[in-house]
Amino acid sequence: MARYKQPVSVLVVIHTVDLEVLLLERADHPGYWQSVTGSCETGETLIETVLREVREETGLDVRQYALTDWQAQNVYEIYPQWRHRYAPDTLYNTEHVFGLQLPHPVTAQLAPREHLNFQWLAWQDAAEKVFSPSNRAAILELPKHTIRPARAIRKMP
């Protein structure tokens, strides 16, 4: 029996407080840049999927950084070139959006079978570079979801 991907996935926008975004270049489609994405495995929660996909695709341990559930979902038609990965007649995927904030850019440890390269870009440039409309929309929402460090309160003389 064939094992198909579930049509439920996560999109994780990895970014810094300065709104730099980590993008990954797909190995199966050079020139296609994206944030971390991945389908839920059977019995896995969305958070477990985030932990696994971020670790697999970048080598990062989500638990060391600030993860936020953006409470956003995108339902989109699965690109024809990837439909064979899903059960027959599965045309749509539901994607859940998360943000992972790092204090500064880091070197990603790529999975060579999945990604060829990575780069950190300013959020506006990252939004222009990604191929997925839902990824672009998420990156454009990034300023609303960034956790700003508390400003130091200076004592008045």
Model pLDDT, residue 152: 40
Q: Is residue 152 part of a domain?
A: no
CATH number at 42 reads 3.90.79.10
* d(C-alpha 83, C-alpha 78), whole Å: 6
Query: Does any domain span residue 2?
Result: no
Per-residue pLDDT at 2: 58
**Would residue 12 count as lying in a domain?**
yes
In a domain, 156, yes or no: no
Residue 155 lies in a domain: no
Does a structural domain hold residue 157?
no
Give the domain extent around 107.
8-145
Residue pLDDT, tens place only, 109-157? 999 899 999 999 999 999 999 999 999 999 999 999 987 765 444 444 4
Q: What is the pLDDT of residues 2-60, one digit of tens each?
A: 589 999 999 999 999 999 999 999 999 999 999 999 999 999 999 999 999 999 999 99
User: Could you give the number of structural domains in the chain?
Assistant: 1
Predicted structure pTM score: 0.90
In a domain, 151, yes or no: no
C-alpha 71/C-alpha 6 separation (Å) is 20
